[in-house]
Structures are given as C-alpha cells and as structure tokens.
Amino acid sequence: MIADSNTTTEKIQDLANSHGFDMVGFTSADPFENSKDFIVQRVDEGLLSGLSWFTKERVERGSNPKNILKDAKSIISLGLSYYTIKPKHNTDTINGKIAMYAWGDDYHRIFERKIKDFIADLKQLTSEETNTYWYTDTGPMSDRAVAQRAGVGWFGKNTNILTDKGSWVVLAQIITNLDLEESPVSKKHCGTCTMCIDVCPTNAIIGAGILDNNKCISYLTIENKGPIPMELRSKMGNWIFGCDICQDVCPVNRKQALGNAYNDFSQKDSERVSPDLISLLKISEDSFRKRFAKSPVLRAKVDGMKRNVCVALGNIKNPSTVEPLSEALIKDSALVRGHAAWALGQIKTDSAIQSLASRKKLEKDPWVLKEIELALNS
C-alpha cells in the first residue's frame, strides 16, 4: 500500500512515541505458528483449565491475524510501563496487597484512549484507507507472542515479556493493512537465572516459561470465582488482588524508570494499593464499586475480594480480626463464609473456636459446614 515502507515505519514509530507509548515494535501479520503450538499444548495439559473461555478454538483464531483483519500485513505492538511509586500506608491497620498494574486506572481504558487518538493520526499520516483492528488483553491474540516477535521484549521464565525497561509493562497491538518494516527480535534471555521459579510460593511456574494457571495467585485472586483450593491458601500471604512476586524478584526489574503514562497508573490513595483488610471485609457492594471506580480490581467482584481478604487474614493470624471474621461467618455469602471459617481455624483463639462452634449449629450450606468442621479439626 505504501511504497516507501522504511520511512513510513520510522514515521509511525515517531508518531507512537509522540503519543506516549513506552515501547513500539513492528512485526508481520504472518501466523504465530510457534506460540500457537505452545499455547495449545498448555491448554491440552490443563494448565489453563480454570479459564473456561480459554479454548483451543480461540487460540487457533487468535494465531492468524488474517482471521481478524482480512487484508492484514503488519502488526504494531505497543507497551506501556505501569511502574509507579508505592504510597505510604497506615501502619496501624492490617493491610493487604494489590498487584501494581491495578493501582491506578484500568489499563484497558488507558490504552483505548491512547490508541484511538493514535489511529486517527496514523490515518492522517498514511491514508484514510488504512485499516486497523486493535486489542489489549481481551482479544484471542497472544499479546506477549506479538510483543516478542515485534522486538518489544523477550519471554522471561516467569512467562512475562521482559523489556529493557523491565517487565512492569502492559501490552496492546494494532493489526493493519500497512506494509511495515519488521523490528529485530530481541536476542536477550534469562540465562541461568531461576529466581522467579524458585520464589513462587505456590510453585505455579512449573518450568521455564510454563505457568500452571490454577496455582498462580493472580488467577486465584482475580479470575477464579469459586473457593480457593485449601492447600494453596496458606501460601498466598496477604495478596488480595493479583500478585507481583515473580516480577519483584526479577533482576531485570532492578533498574526502574517511570513510564510516560505514569499519571494514569500512579496512585496516591493507599487504600487502593495496601487496603485496610477489616474495612474491606465489611464493605458493601456499592462502596466497593465506588472505592475501586475505574480500577481493574472491580473484576474480582465484592464477594471474590472478601474471599481473598479472609485468606489474607487467615495468613496474618491477628486475634483482633476474630470479631469481623465471625461476623462475616454469619452475614456474608456462602463463598465468604467458607473462607471466613478457614481464617478462624488458622487464628484458632478460644473466641475463634467458639464462633465456629456456634455457627456449626446453624449453617445450612453443606460446603460451608464442611469448611467449619475442617477449621474446628485443623
């Protein structure tokens, strides 16, 4: 479509930089055969089985950009760094931890705003006939496979794309009918380092570049809508939404710089970073929506969040939390009641045992009843 593709690619690179994308790379719209095979294998092995929507059909469709945009020729891969400074939190309260990508505004919104503006200018630069189709996260494409092939970064053993600016990066891509020059693929790799594998408390990284979704704290606290497997609860510490452990230890992340969209990702309110767990346990659905307005945290839903809070409290084991947990054991949904029972069983003071014993006489839900019995016998 464009004769002088070299120059156009450079101009698009400059345009993307001027729109504040921290990383920009280009790759062809050829099928992603290698990553398709890897991902299908992971699906077959059941490593993504908790995500019912993550099917082989979806992977097949997402692996060929031409299934999405018929006249696709290239893909523009875009990255935004979400690295930000943690606000100080109240040390008098008992706090949980939220993964860094979720401290500020939801990155889907941030990308949407930026990509729409960028595409408008891209059409001005090239032609109104330029076709585009963009995704971040929610599409069938592997955002990481695109970023890797477009030279934005390399696959870390924790499965994240590591870039020269670290792995605190979210990814998006624009498929287009423009014929663009491909960026060189990064030659970097993790070498012999296995820190992320060694440190994961649930042993979710079962091999270099292989994650068992069902054990990942990020999955357990965000995507999983049911009970958290009992054997994993005590390994989750006080993470209540997502997890950053495998990125925190990564040597590539030692050097850090703030990204261009820092203002969107940063957070001054420590309650959206290290929330007071007791107030979260008591929060109403309405207040939850208000407190986490525009935040990815809403994805957990109020009951999922309260479930996570119970697990964190069960790990912190502070006797002062017996009262609010006992209240949750009576008032909340079955999902929360069951995890409140577990937490009380971990704290195991006389009053915790008393609450469990009195609830046992009234509880009607068979799963919660079982949790209470296990907590009493633990």
Q: How many CB atoms lie within 10 A of CB 234?
A: 13
Site residue total, ligand B12 (CB under 6 A): 39
Nearest distance from C-beta of residue 47 to ligand B12, angstroms: 7
Q: Which of 211, 273, 309, 322 binds ligand B12 (CB under 6 A)?
A: 211
- Residue 77 near residue 27, CB atoms below 8 Å: yes
Verify whether residue 71 is a known catalytic residue.
no
- 98 part of the interface to ligand B12, by CB under 6 A: no
Which listed residue (24, 246, 347, 372) binds ligand B12 by CB under 6 A? 246
Nearer to ligand B12, 308 or 321 (CB): 308
HEC secondary structure over 29-74: CCCCHHHHHHHHHHHHCCCCCCCCCCCHHHHHHHHCHHHCCCCCCE
Site string for ligand B12, 163-182 (x = CB under 6 A): ----x-xxx-----------
Write the DSSP assignment of 299-360 as a string of letters.
GGHHHHHHHHHHHHHHHH--GGGHHHHHHHHHHS-HHHHHHHHHHHHHH--HHHHHHHHHHH
Compare residues 210 and 376 and give the one whose CB is closer to ligand B12. Answer: 210
Residue 184 CB, nearest distance to ligand B12 (Å)?
A: 18
**Site membership for ligand B12, residue 244 (CB under 6 A):** yes
User: Which of 112, 222, 101 is closest to 166 using CA atoms?
Assistant: 101
Interface with ligand B12 by CB under 6 A: which range of 68-76, 132-140, 258-266, 284-292? 132-140
Quote the tokens at residue 194. 């296995």
User: Is residue 355 part of the contact set for ligand B12 (CB under 6 A)?
Assistant: no
> Min. distance of Cβ 372 from ligand B12 in angstroms?
30
**In whole angstroms, how close is the CB of 240 to ligand B12 at the nearest point?**
11
Using CB under 6 A, pick the residue from 63, 160, 346, 355 that binds ligand B12. Answer: 160
CB 275, CB 240: distance < 8 Å: yes
CA torsion sign, 126 to 131 to 135 to 141?
negative
In angstroms, what CA-CA distances link 136 with 3, 27, 108?
A: 29, 16, 7
Closest to ligand B12 by CB, 9 vs 159, is 159
Burial 330-350 (b: 16+ CB within 10 A, else e): eebebbbbbbbbbbbbbbbee
Interface stretch with ligand B12, choices 208-216, 334-342, 343-351, 355-363 (CB under 6 A)? 208-216
Question: Is-contact 1 180, C-beta < 8 A?
Answer: no
Residue 166 vs 345, nearer CB to ligand B12: 166
Q: Is 22 in the site for ligand B12 (CB under 6 A)?
A: no
Q: Which is nearer to ligand B12, 1 or 199 (CB)?
A: 199
Across the strands, what pairs with 97?
239
How far apart, in whole angstroms, are the C-alpha atoms of residue 353 and residue 300? 29
Q: Is 297 in the site for ligand B12 (CB under 6 A)?
A: no
C-alpha span between 138 and 54 (Å, rounded): 11
Q: Could you tell me where the DSSP H helices lie in 150-284?
A: 195-199, 217-218, 230-233, 245-248, 262-265, 277-281
CA–CA dist 47, 130 (Å, integer): 39
* Of residues 246 and 340, the one with the C-beta less far from ligand B12: 246
Which CB atom, from 160 or from 176, has the smaller least distance to ligand B12? 160
Among 73, 97, 144, 233, binds ligand B12 (CB under 6 A): 144
Six-digit token string for 288? 């939850």
Among the listed residues 14, 137, 164, 248, the single catalytic one is 137
Q: Which of 161, 273, 305, 328 binds ligand B12 (CB under 6 A)?
A: 161
Residues in the site for ligand B12, rule: CB under 6 A? 35, 38-39, 42, 48, 51, 99, 101, 136-137, 139, 142-145, 155, 157-161, 167, 169-171, 208-211, 213, 216, 218-219, 222-223, 242-244, 246
What residues act catalytically?
137
